Every structure is written in C-alpha cells, then in structure tokens.
Chains A and B, each alone.
Chain A
Amino acid sequence: MGKINLTALRVRQTAINQFASGKISKLPQWVDVVRDIPPSEALIRNRPPQHQLVRQRMKTIPGSSQPQVVLEVQEKRRRSKKPSRLFQPVQLKYEEDELRTQFFKDHPWELARPRVLIESTGKDHENYDWSRLRQPGKRLDGESVVQRQLWLLNNVPDMTKDGAYDIARREFYRIRLQEDIERRVAAEEAEAFGANFGPRYLDIGMELEDKQHENWKEWAKTQAQIVGQRAAALSGAPELATESDLEASTGLEGAEAESAQ
C-alpha cells in the first residue's frame, strides 16, 4: 500500500484470492455482482470541460434583408503557462452574469426582497416565456429583468445591451408601481372595512423619540439644580441657589408647556 489505498476498488480480486488460498470457505454473494457492475476507474484524469462564452444575436447582415442569428464565441483564452493547470476545472461563465451584476449594482435594494430559492421538480423553467416579463408561478424580481434582457438580446434584431436593459427595466418599473398601487388600495379597502394595522413605523419612531426627550428633560433639570447649588456654595449666598433653582424649574416648565401646546 503506497500513498493511494486501492483496497476498496479491489474487493472482488481480494475475495477471489482469499477463496483460492483457502482463507474463506465460500465466495461472497456479491462477487458476481461486482463482476457484472465493475467499479469505475479511479484516479484517471480527464481534460475538464473547457467552457466558452457563447452569445446569440440577431443581426441584419449587409446584403440580406432578413436578420440572421449570429453566434459569437468568446475568443479562446490564452493557455496558461503552467502545464499543471491543464487538468484544473475551468470557470463557468454565462452571458447573464454581466447583466445581473449591472442590474443589482443599479438596484441594490432588490437584493433585500425575499426570494424563493427552492424548486421541487427543477422544471420550472419550462413554464417560462421571456417574451414578457411576468411569469406564472414566479415572483417578479431582479432575475426576471435579467432573463428578459437576455431574451431581448437573443431574439430582437440589432438589439444593444443598453437598449435591452432600458426596455426590461421600464417594464419592471411599471409592474412595481402597479404592485405598489394595488397594495395601497388593498390597505385602504381593508381599513374601510374596519381593519386595524396598528401604529405605523413612523409613529413608533416618533414615540421612541419623544420618550428620549422626556428622559433628557429630567436629566437636564437635575443638572441645572446641581450647577445652581454649586454656584451658590461658591459665592456663599444660599438664597441665590434657591432662586436660581426656582428660575430653572419654572423656565423648563414653561418650555414644557410650550412643547405640549
């Protein structure tokens, strides 16, 4: 046994040898199973699949009236200088990647929306038709825009990346706006029928802020008292302290009354 342990792959040979040498009296039941279904060859390196970025475009070629499908293959990357890299897996790249990066760079808050990542059969894509933005059974999200943009790039003649982005984005904004309006109308209807959604986030925020102001007022009162007493003690006239305290407290009370009004 050297560095690589091939015991597991050679179970059948071992069993046959053990039987031949008399170590085991009976061949195991699985010997002919392993003969019929042999283990795969291990430790053989194949050249990993070399992925290439392929772009499909519709282009009007000068001289012909009909636009044609043109497949653009990304230039072959320069082979790595190191031969040791020959058997290393290659990066997977798709055309959508750039589109996705651009969209989420421009709309970072789209990433904050909840999204369903689970598929039960894996065949959801069969129901999608990206000639329109909305899909049955799929929530509208950034991925919809990316797929729509890709469809436009692949299928509309002489479409540019920015043009497709603008079209897909405009459709997306319209649907988002519509969803907002629908939500607002639904809330209004519900309120009209007696639903109570509780305080809004703004109200809760204001309440918390008011509480902090009240706390500060109490703290400021005691601070004013302490400062006044200290000044009185230094000057040796205690009646001054009581006066200043009174002033401070009345002033604060006045301010309080104003704020309440």
Chain B
Amino acid sequence: MIVRQLGVRQSRQLLALSRRAPASSRFFSSEIPVDTAIQTPTQESIEPLPIAASIPKAQNPLHEVVQVSQAPQGKWAQWEKSKSKFNSLGSLTKDAFDPEDVIRNPPSPSDITLELLLASGTHLGHSTSRWNPQNSRYIFGVREGVHIIALDVTAAYLRRAAKVVEEVAARGGIILFAGTRKGQKRAVVRAAELAGAYHIFERWIPGSLTNGQQILGHCETKVVNAFDKELPDFKQDLADRPSVKPDLVICLNPIENVVLLHECGLNNVPTIGICDTDADPTRLTYPIPANDDSLRSTSLIAGVLGRAGQAGQARRLKMAEEGKLTYEPITVHELKVDPFTGFMPGTEGQKKD
C-alpha cells in the first residue's frame, strides 16, 4: 500500500518562513489512533546544570532562571493547588450535556437511534424555497417553512455509508475525510484519526486529483507492509510515481466542495457526503440526507463513519496477523519498474543492445 503525505502541500508558506511547520504533523494520520499522552516535563530535565551546581547560589546568574522554570508560581499555582484540594467537594454534575463528547467518543454505527439523530438536529433541512426537488424522497414534511428530513431514511443511509467505509478500510483503501466549513476541523481530524484515514479541513485545492503531479508531486510517499509498518528500502523507487488517489472520499459539506466532487467523478472515486435539502444528491455516490449546517449533526455523522473505519482497519490488521491479506498487494516488480519506460532499472541498456 502506498501512502502519500499531504502535509507539506498545505504548509508551503510556513516552510518559506523557515519555521517549523506544525501542519506537517497535523495533516496526515495513517497511524492507528493512539491517545496522545500529555507531555509533562520530567524531573531530570529541570534539574540545575552541573556547572551551575558547583558555583555558589549567590554568584550564579542562572540560579533564578532555573528556579522559576521548576514549578508554576503565582496565582496559577495557587489556583491549581486549591483545585486539587477541593476537587472532591461539592455536588456532582450528572448527565450534563458536553458538546465535545460526540467528538471524543463518537457512537458506532450500531448505536445510531432515531432519538440520537433527533437530539443532534439532523432532521432540520433548509427553507422550503431553497429545496432541491431531487431530495423529495428524503423529506418527511414541512414545518414552520422548513423541510424536515425523515430520520429513518437518515439512519438507513448512514448505516449503509458506514458499511461502505468499513469495507473500504478493511480492504486497505485510502479514505479522505473533507470538511472545510468553519468549526468542522476537530470532528474531521478525529474521524480520520479513528479510521486511519486522511483529512482536509482547509480549502480543497482545485486540481489536487486531476493535476496531482503538479500539486502533490513533491509530497512524500511511503510503502508499507501488511501491518502498516513502513518499508524504507523502496523509498527511491517511489520517485516519479503518479500521485496517489483516494479510494473513498467523505465530504461533510458537498455544497462548498463541488470541485472536489467533480474531480472525484472525473477520477472515478466513490464519494459519501451529507446531503441537505438544498444539495444535489446525484453528485454523491452515497448521500446521507441530514443537516449539514449544524456542527453537532456533522460531528455525529463524521464520528459514526470514523468508528466504522476503525472497525474495518482493526479487521484488516487482525487478518494480517493471521497471515491473510484483504487486498491484492503490490508486487516488488511493480514497485521497481520504471513508470515511464516500463523496464526494470539498469536493464534498459541491455535490452537496447
């Protein structure tokens, strides 16, 4: 499986400023999700330097600095202290709504209920005057001048899309989550992290698929084995390869990403997307009729699809441990062969002779 790093593309300006690019680590998540541990400074790192220890405290100018960096001081420290002291006191808040919860612990496709969809506001469509009549089969009725999307249809289509994501992930396909609206960033990143997929939360650069050699040509690719471990021996063989295309694109806001969907159509990539009552359902292979304007709704749907992808990846890795491959692997010959001439490197001269 060849995996392409999309990172450098988005952070070209940052690279130009010769600054450490935070985007390069943020833009791809091919790893199986692990909970990020909070980095706490260890005791060794804050110990005073050995040279400083030999000099008396009064003469050492470093002494003050080292002391300050050792522990948080002032009001913040007081607050932390009092917090830890009184944390166990007071009343307990039970069943309080936490908007982050749907991003942190998204439900799996089997947990989808109509009540959950209703509480997340997936049934709210657009004003009746803005509807796309192609969506009429997903619409339950009109309420206060707004179209109401049928929740049973949403649940059915969401489960179907989740099944597709799971199967594609189980076959080692490359999945791309795209949600470019304001506020969708965290949900998109989390879903991609769960599903071992890629994500885009900024603008889709037009031509990334149709003109990938120009736009993504300088990005890094890698060859991985069945356990998703990188094989660095094939690094030099990946030069001059066409850019990698996704096997499945999941778009949380198809209305703004018409260009992305058009390119997917040109490159024959199946797409999944949230289809509000004003969107065009024929642009997507698997539309999910739901509200795409509410962040809670989009986070829920992205989370469900992410969970489905997680299940698929787990299945693939489990089968790999048993020695079975769920996909047709790329052969060494295919990797070594020159993509332009079609010969193995070093053999061209011999054949010409």
Contact = CB atoms under 8 A, between A and B. Distances in A.
Nearest to A8: B285
B134 A33 contact: no
A121 B139 contact: no
Interface in B232-277: 247-248, 261, 264-266, 268-271
Counting chain A CB atoms within 10 Å of each CB, the highest count among B97, B101, B147 belongs to: B97
B201 interface: no
B168 A33 contact: yes
Interface string A164-200: 0000000000000000000000000000000000000
Interface residues of A, number: 40
Interface string A115-126: 000111111000
Contact of A37 (B95, B163, B271, B327): B163
A7 B141 contact: no
Interface stretch (A63-71, A88-96, A249-257): A88-96
Interface string B95-131: 1111001000000000001111111100000001000
A49 B141 contact: yes
A92 B140 contact: yes
Contacts of B247: 28-30
Contact of A8 (B139, B140, B264): B264
B268 A14 contact: yes
A48 B139 CA distance: 7
Contacts of A88: 136
Contacts of B285: 8-9, 11, 34, 39
A206 to B, nearest CB: 39
A91 B141 contact: yes
A33 B148 CA distance: 31
Contacts of A123: 115
Interface in A79-98: 87-92
Contacts, number: 123
Given A30-B248, A89-B141, A7 B265 contact: yes
A89 B96 CA distance: 36
A120 B140 contact: no
A133 to B, nearest CB: 22
Chain A facing B: main interface SS: loop
Interface of A: 4-9, 11, 14-15, 18, 26, 28-30, 33-34, 36-37, 39-40, 42-46, 48-49, 51, 87-92, 118-123
A19 B113 CA distance: 40
A232 B128 CA distance: 75
Q: Which of under 10, 10 to 19, 20 to 34, or 35 or more describes the interface residues of B?
A: 35 or more
Given A37-B164, A37-B167, A8 B283 contact: yes
Given A28-B268, A48-B139, 12 more contacts: A5-B282, A7-B266, A26-B328, A37-B163, A39-B285, A42-B281, A91-B143, A120-B96, A121-B115, A121-B116, A121-B119, A122-B117
B141 A34 contact: no
Contacts of B268: 7, 11, 14-15, 18, 28
A229 B113 CA distance: 85
Nearest to A24: B268
B142 interface: yes
* A-B pairs with lowest CB-CB distance, top 5: A122-B119, A122-B115, A7-B265, A92-B141, A119-B119
A92 B137 contact: no
B173 interface: yes
B116 A122 contact: yes
Contact of B168 (A26, A29, A45, A87): A29
A120 B119 contact: yes
Contacts of B261: 8
Given A29-B327, A48-B136, A5 B265 contact: yes
Interface in B276-311: 281-287
B63 interface: no
Contacts of B136: 45-46, 48, 87-89
A8 B284 contact: yes
A18 B266 CA distance: 12
Nearest to B283: A8
Nearest to A15: B268
B171 A30 contact: yes
B343 interface: no
Contacts of B185: none
A89 B97 contact: no
B289 to A, nearest CB: 10
B157 interface: yes
A33 B167 contact: yes
Contact of A89 (B115, B139, B248): B139
B336 interface: no
Nearest to B174: A29
Contact of B97 (A5, A30, A48, A120): A120
B179 interface: no
A5 B98 CA distance: 41
A207 B172 CA distance: 74
Given A45-B136, A51-B141, A122-B113, A33 B119 contact: no
Contact of A11 (B128, B173, B269): B269
B160 interface: yes
A37 B163 CA distance: 8
Contact of B137 (A26, A45, A51): A45
A14 B286 CA distance: 16
A43 B148 contact: no
A91 B119 contact: no
